[in-house]
Structure 1
Amino acid sequence: MAKSIQMEELTLGVCYYPEHWPEELWEDDFRRMRELNISVIRMAEFAWAMLEPEEGVYDFSFFTRVMDLAHSYGLKVILGTPTATPPAWLTHKYPEVLNAHQNGELIKHGMRRHYNYSSSKYRELCERIVRNMVNAYKDHPAVIGWQIDNEFNCEKNVFYAEADHAAFRVWLKEKYGTLDNLNKAWGTVFWSQTYTAWEQLHLSQTESPNPHLALDEKRFISDNVISFARLQANIIRELAPQHWVTTNGLFGHLDSHELTDELLDFFSYDSYPQFSTIFPGQDEKPLMDRGWSMSLSNVRSISPNFCVMEQQAGPGGWVDRIEMGSPRPGQIRLWSYQSVLHGTDLLVYFRWRTATFGTEIYWHGINDYHNRPNRRVREVAQVGGEFAKIGAAIAGTQYQADVAIMQDYDNNWDAEMDKWHGPLQWQSKGSWYKQLQYRHIPADVITLRPNTSLEDLTQYKVIVYPHPAIMTDDTAELLTRYVEQGGKLFFGARTGYKDPSGQCYMRPFPGPVAELCGITVEDFTLVKGSIRAAELQWEGRLSSGTQAVGFNEVLHVENPEVKVAAEYATEYYQGEPALTRRPLGKGEVWYYGAAYSEPVVDAILDELGLTSPIADWVDVPADVELGIRASENASYAFLLNYSDQSVTIQVKQRAVDLLTGETLENEVEMPAYGVIILALQ
């Protein structure tokens, strides 16, 4: 059962760094926070040098004063353990705690996340500061919970210190038991890579390592992070069982589902929609900041109701990278409700006031340097007032979807190196999510895990699992039962040709799901150079004029039940099957020998007849995101206008806008970046 945050109402918070400001500002800051309906502050995650200015010398008085004053203003506090930024005395005295580049050169002090999780000395010092910190603050009435570290694997998600190489060897011994087993799994007979002693093993030492080693390396890093986090979680559980435990971020080489299941009360996320506008893609109508909803959907698969520990509150940028323009008037509020729609019940803005020094002086908070009222403050005040009005109704309701885009960690990690199926993943996931968004069909992003059950899958009418190169017979059996129960399942090119070690099967593609799909792959080519994307000729009601992009597999029908939905109309495989569908039990399975594009997804959605779940209630233009949060007793439709222009929606049945209390019907004008929440009867 997924773990969710438990809030009685939508709650607003802000990240606060009192160590950056004169103490005379604190009281005015807290007073103004309460005026904005901010009731939670998060702090201390980067303050190790203040808490332990020299080894073994602790001073917890500073944050005690801060929390005493915050408590007097009715503010609750989330404390971050400070292990993401070790102090200079620590890294200078114990250089073995530092991370290293791939060539072994140590990463020097001066940034953050420059440590390694494997160092026994670093773990010892982390345990010590966390234990002393929790003991110091566990009984403070303002504290409600703890954030472990900060953004695990952000900026650095590979590790090459000597301690990491040693820990990797221990991990491999535990996994494989013998070198014979390891050599077989890694195919080390290739290029004379056979290992004859454990000491010969290292994390990847080249830019193009053995791919099976590279896959295991990512699994090791994930396990190592979780092991490091467990040290801290166990201390908090022991000393402060009344407080909840979480951590924030969603970064590479970390199984955040396992981390949450094993250690946390719920997962938290840092939501910066403008990251989606920096690299919007090459498509004609990109989702831009609306595309951030796919990331939020991924978080929802970990915790259906979660905390956003950092919500974008201004333009973002470090001194040396990633500069973002200022959010337009209304966008901060829009992005706040984007997070709420997708499951956020505790929304914490980053940050209260923009830093005047340090690397993040261009990562703006609610307040500017001058500390005078601005439009961002006014916008947050509006959100705060609205949360006070609607928060009790929305909190605890959950996002509703009948369609899911499925992924898994092994394939995501393997795809980083495998250029034959890796690039297809983003293409297909993005195309499906985008077209579902524009058609107002809510979708989940779910992660297939070893403990995923049939019940987990059958709640969805449609599952898209586009390019799972790594596939097992057990997974194939689970997916077969899903289809038999009535599900519609979609695969794409390069499905099922690898085992869990990343080795290719000596069986016809798509390997374990060949029988399920009723087809085999007769031939294939990467679409590159002289090989152009083939045009498609569709059967039945499907449209024409679409291309099979990325990769083209020539399919061979093995089962007479299989119907060919589209053929290649050009290239040397003209007339051969490209898209097939096989009915099975109450459902059907589709196989597409390419990467999904927006036109292909559109054609398939037409064939499936999928429509918006509230099509009888409202007609909404494409620029508006539509989603539903519901409980057993209530249902709320969120309408979010991402356009810089006003749009008109058609309300077919009378409905009340929860934010204004107005009854809406017929034509309703939504302003640019406007938000409407309809209470559905």
Structure 2
Amino acid sequence: MKKPVADKQFELGVCYYPEHWPEDMWEDDYRRMVETGFTIVRMGEFAWSIFEPEEGSYQFGMFDRAIDLAHRHGLKVVLGTPTATPPAWLTEKYPEVLNVTYEGVTLQHGMRRHYNYSSPKYRELCAGIVSQMASHYGSHPGVAGWQIDNELNCEINEFYSESDHNAFREWLQRKYVTLEKLNEAWGAVFWNQSYTSWSQVYLPRPTPVPKQPNPHQALDEKRFISDNTISFAKIQADIIRAQAPDQWVTTNGLFGHLDSHELQDELLDFFSYDSYPQFSSIYYDPNEKNPLGDRSWSLSLSVVRSISSNYCIMEQQSGPGGWVNRMDMPSPKPGQMRLWTYQSIAHGADMVLYFRWRTATMGNEIYWHGLNDYHNLPNRRVREAAGIGRELAAAGKAIIGTRAEASVAILRDYDNEWDGEYDIWHGPFMWTSNKEWFKALQRQHIPTDIVYLRSKTTAKELARYQVLVYPHPAIMTDDTAAVLDEYVQQGGTLIFGCRTGYKDSRGQCYMRAFPGAAKELCGITVEEFTTVKGNRAPTSITWTHGDEALTGADAFNDILQVEQDTVEVMGRYATDYYAGKPAVTRNKRGKGEVWYYGAVFNEEAALRIIGSLNISSPAADWLELPAEVELQIRRSDTTSLTFLLNYNEASAEIVLKEPRTDLLTGQELSGKYTMEGFGVLVLQ
């Protein structure tokens, strides 16, 4: 049975690196952490050479003192396994553990994550250090749980060492058994790529056209990397479970080429995430219309919630951030750190640790500021954290264990994400449409889940949602289509975008009319299609209901043909050679309906569909909110909490038609109320 994130109190804490500071500073650090309201600290995830300075020689004295002292101050400890940074003695003695790039360049010691998961020697050495640590600390009363490694697949999520090629070959042999089946799955007859011996099979390697592997091989590569990463983590999880059965197990991150849902199901008590809302600004597309800014981080948190309904934030942004040469994020304005903390909590966090207690004075992260500055003197970030600590000490018990609630979900799946990294005919569209739908729903104050479709997903699980949006699932099996059809037949609403259903699980195109496996669901076929770029001017969609407004038909256009008399045309293309042709359709099917939108979604189009479906905010009857305020609901059998988050620096006026009590202040609110800039309310 999986252990909860928190069961007695909300856990608020901070990441701490005792090895970075003189030991005579620890006592004062811990004392001030407790005064700030912290209950938990994370340490150890980058300290392999301290635990094992020479192969087979283990030393625990420094961390014994650090953990014992934290425990005496009433602080719990999250202990990281240090396998994200193998020490210099290890990589010098066993260079086969190092990762290798696609071009064949060996990555050397000097940063982090410079190893590969496949090396038998590295797995053996990792098992050794984890076993020693788990044995030593598995019954320590101050250690609450373990973080496996650190940010699996961060920095780099491709692996091309000799060990990786060997492991990939073995993975393929288990999956396909025979070369005939492998050749069929990879379409190897094309360009004479057929294999006659397993020794000829490798991960993708350089070809005459750079980064241009067989697309079906590339899809299997991502599946292999995920399985291989999980098997690497499993070695550590199994050791900790055996030697520290009373302590929980998690890992942090959310990175590419990793089925985090499978990782959670198989290995973890709960999932952990590192939340840096200002990444939204770093990677901001200047061409994006009407962006959400740091509020868009709620979309990432919704993904985390799909993995683990209640989760830990292992690193919460607490200051300006960046490495010496990249990721130069500005300082949070007063109130923003509190806003981001409650953003994490609103979406399901029952534990939050700030990164970090004090800003590092050396290394690549000397500008990745924590709560305390280098000088260690009082500052406003520490004061803001202390205010949050006081609030959660009083109100946190009412929050933990409640779960986020939504009636709309955006569907995703790993196969389409991984295939779409390479296939530009559908991959980029998914990310655009996800964000545009999320914007539309956010500004209508409609909480939204992200749901990953998996082989074990059932129509019963999906039935809790009134509406499912599955923007561009190019890969769709008949089994997936059957589950979705059952959901619709029982009364659900399902919305597809262009490029739906035309590939099988191998990434090969069906010899069927598009949208392939989804054809019967939609009641239409795709007459033809075109990308919209270059000298092809964008067209618009004329909506055939209401005011017949025009919205853009972005990036790609499927020209639709109605095939069933249950289909209603909701919009037509306004210009180009396909002017007047169906662009948006709605098919009544059983008790539900299926929409097909023939382009890449934009916010305006999503709003048109939302209006047609009469979806509204769950708080619409008692609450009026401006667009800049996010609404999120967490609920249990006995508690309902409505989180309101103002992402604007300016104040925002809300109207409560019924009285509610703010959990954080105890104040009863009714009528007009002005939320301060970056303000937060948690209404009971």
Q: TM class, shorter-chain normalised?
A: over 0.9
> What is the letter of the counterpart of residue 271 of structure 1?
S
- 1:542 CA drift (Å): 5.8
> What is the letter of the counterpart of residue 65 of structure 1?
R
Query: What's 1:569 paired with?
Result: 574
Q: Deviations over 1:541-569 (max 9, x none)?
A: 26512111010010000001100000001
* TM alignment of 1:139-538, pairs within 5 A: 139-206=139-206, 207-281=211-285, 282-538=287-543
* TM alignment of 1:9-24, pairs within 5 A: 9-24=9-24
Over aligned residue pairs, what C-alpha RMSD do you find? 1.0
Look up the SS of the partner of 1:226 in the other structure: helix
- 1:310 CA drift (Å): 0.5
1:629 aligned onto 2:630 = no
Whole-Å separation in 2 of the counterparts to 1:82 and 1:183: 40
Whole-Å separation in 2 of the counterparts to 1:59 and 1:366: 30
Whole-Å separation in 2 of the counterparts to 1:595 and 1:543: 19
Whole-Å separation in 2 of the counterparts to 1:2 and 1:617: 37
> What is the letter of the counterpart of residue 575 of structure 1?
G
Whole-Å separation in 1 of the counterparts to 2:203 and 2:4: 36
Q: Deviations over 1:636-680 (max 9, x none)?
A: 11100000101111111111111111111111111110001110x
- 1:2 CA drift (Å): 9.4
Q: Deviations over 1:40-69 (max 9, x none)?
A: 000000000101001111101110000111
* TM alignment of 1:638-677, pairs within 5 A: 638-677=643-682
Query: What's 1:88 paired with?
Result: 88
Query: What's 2:101 paired with?
Result: 101
- 1:5 CA drift (Å): 2.5
Q: Deviations over 1:155-203 (max 9, x none)?
A: 0100010100010000000000010000000001111111111111111
Does the CA contact (< 8 Å) of 1:183 and 1:194 recur in 2? yes
Whole-Å separation in 2 of the counterparts to 1:543 and 1:76: 60
- 1:6 CA drift (Å): 4.0
Look up the SS of the partner of 1:396 in the other structure: coil
- 1:427 CA drift (Å): 1.3
Query: What's 1:33 paired with?
Result: 33
Whole-Å separation in 2 of the counterparts to 1:542 and 1:119: 63
Q: Deviations over 1:228-249 (max 9, x none)?
A: 0010001001111111111000
> What is the letter of the counterpart of residue 422 of structure 1?
G
> What is the letter of the counterpart of residue 225 of structure 2?
I
Does the CA contact (< 8 Å) of 1:518 and 1:562 recur in 2? yes
Whole-Å separation in 1 of the counterparts to 2:336 and 2:675: 14
- Find the partner of 1:603 among 608, 624, 632: 608
1:581 aligned onto 2:580 = no
> What is the letter of the counterpart of residue 144 of structure 1?
A
1:558 aligned onto 2:563 = yes
Does the CA contact (< 8 Å) of 1:543 and 1:603 recur in 2? no
Query: What's 2:55 paired with?
Result: 55
Does the CA contact (< 8 Å) of 1:5 and 1:345 recur in 2? yes
Deviates more, 1:21-30 or 1:527-536: 527-536
Whole-Å separation in 2 of the counterparts to 1:393 and 1:543: 48
1:123 aligned onto 2:123 = yes
Whole-Å separation in 1 of the counterparts to 2:102 and 2:606: 41
Look up the SS of the partner of 1:416 in the other structure: helix
Does the CA contact (< 8 Å) of 2:321 and 2:369 recur in 1? yes
1:614 aligned onto 2:614 = no
Does the CA contact (< 8 Å) of 1:561 and 1:583 recur in 2? yes
> What is the letter of the counterpart of residue 295 of structure 1?
S
Aligned residues: 679
Whole-Å separation in 1 of the counterparts to 2:2 and 2:61: 38
Whole-Å separation in 2 of the counterparts to 1:422 and 1:532: 22
Whole-Å separation in 2 of the counterparts to 1:302 and 1:4: 14
Whole-Å separation in 2 of the counterparts to 1:580 and 1:360: 52
Does the CA contact (< 8 Å) of 2:3 and 2:248 recur in 1? no
Does the CA contact (< 8 Å) of 1:454 and 1:482 recur in 2? yes
Look up the SS of the partner of 2:669 in the other structure: strand
Does the CA contact (< 8 Å) of 2:437 and 2:606 recur in 1? yes
Look up the SS of the partner of 2:510 in the other structure: coil
Look up the SS of the partner of 1:496 in the other structure: coil
Whole-Å separation in 1 of the counterparts to 2:245 and 2:4: 17
Whole-Å separation in 2 of the counterparts to 1:542 and 1:38: 55
**TM-score by structure 1 length?**
0.99
> What is the letter of the counterpart of residue 641 of structure 2?
Y
> What is the letter of the counterpart of residue 675 of structure 1?
V
Whole-Å separation in 2 of the counterparts to 1:550 and 1:533: 8
- 1:4 CA drift (Å): 5.5
Whole-Å separation in 2 of the counterparts to 1:277 and 1:650: 31
Where has structure 1 moved over 4 Å in runs of 4 or more? 1-4
Whole-Å separation in 1 of the counterparts to 2:678 and 2:7: 27
- 1:616 CA drift (Å): 1.4
Whole-Å separation in 2 of the counterparts to 1:512 and 1:8: 48
- 1:539 CA drift (Å): 1.0
Look up the SS of the partner of 1:194 in the other structure: coil
Identical pairs, percent: 61
Does the CA contact (< 8 Å) of 1:621 and 1:649 recur in 2? yes
Look up the SS of the partner of 1:512 in the other structure: helix
Q: Which runs of 5+ in 1 are unaligned?
A: none
Q: 1:257 and 1:390, CA in 2 relative to 1: closer, same or farther beyond 3 A?
A: same
Look up the SS of the partner of 1:547 in the other structure: strand
